C-alpha cells in the first residue's frame, strides 16, 4: 500500500498528513504497511541514529536530528494515524508523556474538566498543574452530561475523558459529551484517553473528540516490553502545535522502541479479539457464581458502551466482599501474574487498592466508592479453560466458594 511518500517524509512535514486513509477493514490495516525501504525490506528499518548529514551547507535533507524527526518514527506515526482515524499521530516516550504534551496547551488560569475516576498517573499530573501552574482542575463524574455542561465556561481548555474507566468500569458517552462541549465552547478540546479500548474497539476521533491518545505500553504494543504513548488528532494546527512541544522537549519515541511498537501493533487485532473473548467467558463465569462483576457488557451502562465501542474489551473487575479473601485469591493464582498494567498477552491479576491505586489516599478512595476488595483481571491470550480453572482453584483456596 502507498502508505506515504517513497522516501520517508519528516514528521514535521505537511506531506505526511494526506496518506493516512484506511482502504481496508481495521484488522487488515493493522498489518498492512509497506516499509518504503530502498531494498524492499519486509520489516521497517530501524534508523538507530541521532543525526543525519546534509547534502550541502544550505541544503537540508528530510531529516537532520532524531529529536526533530526520524524515519522509523515517521513510519510508526503514519501507521498509527491510519489506524486511529487521524490525519496525524505523534509517538512519544510513554502514555503519561502524551498527556504531559497535551497539557502544555493549557495556560495558567485555564480550566480542565476531568473525570473523578481517572488513571492514577493522570491524577498526579493534573494535581501538579493545579498546585504549581495555577491551572484549575475540576474532577467530576463524567458519566453525567449535565454535570459536564455546567462546568464549561470561557476558561475551559480541556475536557479529559476515559471510557470505560479502570478498574471501576464507568462508561462515558463520548459522542454526546463531545457534541455538548463543542456546542458550548469553541476553545475546549475534548481529549480522550483510549488506552482501555484500543483503536480496535473505539476510535474517539470518529465520535467527535478532538484528541485521542493512548498508552501504547498496553494493548498497542501488547507484550509489556516497551513504554510508549501515541497522540492522534485531525486538526492540522493542533498537530503542529503538539509536534512543536515534542520537538522542543525531546520526548519523541526512540527509533528502536518505534520499531518494537510497529512489530507489536501488527497483531493488535488478533490479540485483542482473543483477549476480549477470553474476558467475556471469565466475566460470565464470575457472574454465574453470583459475584458483583464490572465489565462494559454488564450493567445499566452497557447500552451506551455498545453505541460507542465495538466490544467490552479485556479488563474486568469483581468484588468478593472481604479484603482478606481478595488478597488470598490474588496470591493463590498460578497463571495469572500479580502485576499492574494491562493489555499484555499474559493474563494479570491485581488488587488495585494495594497496587495501582495505592497512591490515592483511603479517604478519597472511600469518597469515590472505590471497593477495597476489588480484584482486577487483565485477560491475556491463554486458553480460557486454563484461566478459569486457575481462578476457580484460587477462589476455592480463599474460601469464597466451596471446593468441587
Ligand atoms: C497506563 C495508562 C496510562 C499511562 O501510560 P504509561 O505508558 O504507563 O505512561 C494512561 N492512561 C491509562 C488509562 C493507562 O492505563
Residue-wise pLDDT for 8-40, tens only, equals 334 333 334 444 678 899 999 999 888 888 999
Portion of the chain with pLDDT greater than 70, in percent: 95
From 142, 218, 220, mutation site for ligand 1 pocket: most ligand atoms within 8 A of C-beta:
218
In a mutational test of the pocket of ligand 1, which residue from 126, 212, 217 has the highest number of ligand atoms less than 8 Å from its CB? 217
Joined together, the cell numbers standing for residue 181 give 462541549
More confident residue, 396 or 20: 396
The side-by-side arrangement of strands in the sheet containing 292-294 is: 292-294, 315-319, 375-378, 348-350, 337-338
Mean pLDDT, the chain, whole residue set = 93
Alpha carbon of 345 to ligand 1 centroid (Å): 17
Contact 204/177 with Cβ under 8 angstroms?
no
Residue owning grid cell 511498537: 261
Query: Whose CA is closest to atom 2 on ligand 1?
Result: 215
Cβ–ligand 1 distance for 215 under 6 Å, the answer yes
Tell me the pLDDT tens digit for each residue of 83-92. Answer: 999 999 999 9
Contacts of 389-396 spanning 24+ positions with Cβ under 8 A: 390/333, 390/334, 390/335, 390/336, 391/282, 391/285, 391/286, 391/329, 391/333, 391/336, 392/285, 393/332, 394/328, 394/329, 394/330, 394/332, 394/333, 394/336, 395/289, 395/329
Please indicate whether residue 343, judged by its CB atom, sits closer than 6 Å to ligand 1. Answer: no
Q: What does the pLDDT read at residue 388?
A: 98
Q: Which pLDDT value is given to residue 6?
A: 35
CB atoms within 10 A of CB 140: 15
Given a cut of 90, whether residue 112 has pLDDT beyond it is: yes
Establish whether residue 95 lines the binding site of ligand 1, counting it when its CB lies within 6 angstroms of any ligand atom: yes
Residue 289 has pLDDT above 60, yes or no: yes
Give the residue-averaged pLDDT of 274-284: 98
The size of the chain, in residues, is: 404
Per-residue confidence (pLDDT) for residue 68, from 0 to 100: 98
Q: Which residues are catalytic?
A: 67, 119, 193, 218
Q: What is the rounded distance in angstroms from the CA atom of residue 83 to the CA atom of residue 26?
A: 7
Which pLDDT value is given to residue 404?
58
- The predicted pLDDT at position 5 comes to 35
How large is the average pLDDT for residues 247-253?
98
Which pLDDT tens digit goes with each residue over 311-360?
999 999 999 999 999 999 999 999 999 999 999 999 999 999 999 888 78
**pTM as predicted:** 0.94
Ligand 1, atom 11: closest residue by C-alpha? 119
The whole-number average pLDDT for the span 166-176 is 96
| Among 91, 92, 94, 96, residue to substitute to test ligand 1 (most atoms within 8 Å of Cβ) | 96
The 10 Å Cβ neighbour count of residue 322 is 14
Average pLDDT of 145-159? 98
Mean pLDDT score, 224-233: 98
pLDDT of residue 233: 98
Report whether 213 contacts 99 (CB < 8 A).
yes
Position 396 scores a pLDDT of 97
Residue 364's pLDDT is: 84
User: Ligand 1 mean position to 2 CA, how many Å?
Assistant: 32
Atom 7 of ligand 1, residue of closest alpha carbon:
95
Task: Report the range of poorest mean pLDDT among 206-220, 264-278, 366-380.
Answer: 366-380
pLDDT > 90: what percent of the chain?
87
CA of 215 to the centre of ligand 1 (A): 5
**Contact by Cβ (8 Å): 85, 205:** yes
Q: Averaged over 162-173, what is the pLDDT?
A: 96
How high is the pLDDT of residue 3? 35
Grid cell in block for residue 296: 462494559
* Predicted confidence band of residue 367 (pLDDT cuts 50, 70, 90): confident
Task: Tell me the C-alpha to C-alpha distance, in Å, between residue 357 and each of 244, 294, 306, 328, 334.
Answer: 33, 17, 27, 19, 23
Distance CA 288, CA 284 (A): 6
Residues 221-248: what's their mean pLDDT? 98
**Structure-block grid coordinates of residue 2:** 502507498
Amino acid at each position: 500500500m502507498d502508505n506515504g511518500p517513497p522516501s520517508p517524509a519528516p514528521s514535521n512535514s505537511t506531506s505526511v498528513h494526506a496518506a493516512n486513509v484506511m482502504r481496508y477493514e481495521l484488522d487488515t490495516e493493522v498489518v498492512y504497511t509497506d516499509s518504503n525501504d530502498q531494498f524492499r525490506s519486509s520489516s521497517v528499518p530501524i534508523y538507530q541514529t541521532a543525526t543525519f548529514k546534509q547534502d550541502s551547507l544550505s541544503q537540508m535533507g528530510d531529516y537532520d536530528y532524531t529529536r526533530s524527526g526520524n524515519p522509523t518514527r515517521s513510519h510508526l506515526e503514519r501507521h498509527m494515524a491510519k489506524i486511529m482515524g487521524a490525519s496525524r499521530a505523534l509517538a512519544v516516550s510513554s502514555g503519561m508523556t502524551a498527556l504531559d504534551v497535551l497539557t502544555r496547551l493549557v495556560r495558567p488560569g485555564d480550566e480542565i474538566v476531568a473525570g473523578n475516576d481517572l488513571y492514577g498517573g493522570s491524577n498526579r499530573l493534573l494535581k501538579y498543574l493545579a498546585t504549581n501552574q495555577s491551572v484549575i482542575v475540576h474532577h467530576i463524574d463524567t458519566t453525567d452530561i449535565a454535570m459536564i455542561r455546567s462546568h464549561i465556561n470561557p476558561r475551559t481548555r480541556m475536557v479529559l475523558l476515559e471510557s470505560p474507566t479502570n478498574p471501576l468500569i464507568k462508561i462515558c458517552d463520548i459522542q454526546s459529551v463531545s457534541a455538548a462541549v463543542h456546542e458550548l465552547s469553541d476553545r475546549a478540546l475534548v481529549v480522550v484517553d483510549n488506552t482501555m479500548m484500543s483503536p480496535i474497539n473505539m476510535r474517539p476521533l470518529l465520535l467527535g473528540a478532538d484528541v485521542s491518545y493512548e498508552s501504547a505500553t498496553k494493548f498497542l504494543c501488547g507484550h509489556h516490553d516497551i513504554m510508549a504513548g501515541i497522540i492522534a488528532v485531525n486538526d492540522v494546527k493542533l498537530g503542529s502545535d503538539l509536534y512543536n512541544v515534542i520537538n522542543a522537549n525531546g520526548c519523541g519515541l526512540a527509533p528502536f522502541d518505534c520499531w518494537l511498537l510497529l512489530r507489536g501493533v501488527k497483531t493488535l487485532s488478533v490479540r485483542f479479539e482473543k483477549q476480549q473473548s477470553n474476558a467475556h467467558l471469565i466475566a460470565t463465569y464470575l457472574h454465574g457464581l453470583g459475584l458483583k462483576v464490572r465489565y462494559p457488557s454488564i450493567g445499566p451502562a452497557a447500552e451506551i458502551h455498545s453505541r460507542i465501542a465495538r466490544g467490552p474489551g479485556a479488563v474486568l473487575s469483581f468484588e468478593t466482599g472481604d479484603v482478606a479473601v481478595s488478597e488470598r485469591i490474588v496470591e493463590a493464582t498460578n497463571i495469572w501474574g500479580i502485576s499492574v498494567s494491562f493489555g499484555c498477552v499474559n493474563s494479570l491479576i491485581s488488587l488495585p487498592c494495594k497496587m495501582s491505586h495505592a497512591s490515592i489516599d483511603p479517604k478519597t478512595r472511600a469518597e469515590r466508592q472505590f471497593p477495597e476488595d476489588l480484584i482486577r483481571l487483565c485477560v491475556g491470550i491463554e486458553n480460557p479453560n486454563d484461566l478459569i480453572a486457575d481462578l476457580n482453584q484460587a477462589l476455592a483456596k480463599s474460601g469464597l466458594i466451596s471446593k468441587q
